């Protein structure tokens, strides 16, 4: 069996599956933020990040890995490239189930899930903070939606990638879920 460098990295970085995945996403967001470059990570930062998580490898190996992550070959990684490459693999059946759920939720079919699509699916009136008057219904909708978004991609829109990231995390955690 050929060794898949991403699978190897995943093993090291995600000892706790999804929990680690979410944490790494946050760490990435913070590190990229520090550089003030709108969530972009260059090779040096990538290596620093690996060191931070006590992953050591030859520079050659790290370079090859960076290139796999850098899907558009821009020389920098954005959070999306990072998360999509690193996320635990999902079976095709699961991926189809998520894509199917996405399509059903995306009522207007514009390939984005927004607050408008969630109306009728999620009722914010029952949220404790809405009942107590702390939050508006709109605020509760936004909070609900943002839970499905990837760190650093919180723009009030859930893309299919973000939903995949979310479920990749949830499934790895072994949390039971329903998408009906």
Residue sitting closest to Ca ion (CB): 74
Under DSSP, is residue 44 helix (H, G, I), strand (E, B) or coil?
Answer: helix
Q: Considering the complex, what minimum distance in angstroms separates the CB of residue 79 from Ca ion?
A: 10
Does 172 bind Ca ion (CB under 5 A)? Our answer is no
Does 106 bind Ca ion (CB under 5 A)? Our answer is yes
Closest among 9, 2, 20 to 68, alpha carbons compared: 9
Does 45 bind Ca ion (CB under 5 A)? Our answer is no
Neighbour-count burial of 43, counting CB atoms closer than 10 A to its CB (0-12 exposed, 13-18 middle, 19+ buried): middle
DSSP alpha helix (H) spans, 36-127:
43-52, 59-69, 79-86, 92-105, 115-118
Q: Which is nearer to Ca ion, 45 or 153 (CB)?
A: 153
- Provide the β-strand partners of residue 68: none
Q: Considering the complex, what minimum distance in angstroms separates the CB of residue 127 from Ca ion?
A: 21
Q: Which is nearer to Ca ion, 74 or 134 (CB)?
A: 74
Q: Considering the complex, what minimum distance in angstroms separates the CB of residue 103 from Ca ion?
A: 10
Element (H, E) at 169: helix 160-173
Out of 35, 100, 155, 177, name the contact with Ca ion by CB under 5 A: 155
Beta carbons within 8 Å of 82's beta carbon, 6+ residues apart: 25, 28, 41, 69
Tokens, residue 10? 């995943």
Q: Site residues for Ca ion, window 63-82 (CB under 5 A)?
A: 70, 72, 74
Q: Which is nearer to Ca ion, 104 or 129 (CB)?
A: 104
Q: Considering the complex, what minimum distance in angstroms separates the CB of residue 58 from Ca ion?
A: 22
List of residues contacting Ca ion (CB under 5 A): 70, 72, 74, 106, 108, 110, 112, 117, 149, 153, 155, 157
């Amino acid at each position: 069996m050929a060794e898949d460098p991403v699978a190897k990295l995943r093993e090291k970085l995600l000892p706790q599956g999804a929990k680690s995945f979410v944490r790494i996403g946050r760490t990435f967001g913070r590190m990229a933020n520090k550089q003030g470059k709108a969530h972009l990570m260059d090779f040096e930062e990538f290596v620093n990040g690996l060191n931070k998580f006590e992953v050591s490898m030859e520079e050659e190996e790290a370079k090859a890995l960076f290139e796999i992550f850098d899907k558009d070959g821009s020389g920098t990684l954005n959070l999306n490239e990072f998360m999509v490459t690193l996320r635990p693999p999902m079976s095709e059946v699961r991926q189809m189930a998520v894509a199917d759920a996405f399509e059903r939720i995306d009522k207007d079919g514009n390939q984005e899930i927004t607050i408008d699509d969630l109306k009728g699916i999620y009722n914010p009136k029952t949220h404790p903070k809405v009942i107590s008057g702390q939050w508006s219904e709109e605020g509760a909708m936004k909070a609900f939606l943002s839970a499905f978004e990837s760190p650093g991609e919180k723009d009030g829109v859930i893309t299919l990638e973000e939903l995949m990231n979310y479920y990749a995390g949830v499934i790895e955690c072994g949390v039971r879920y329903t998408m009906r």
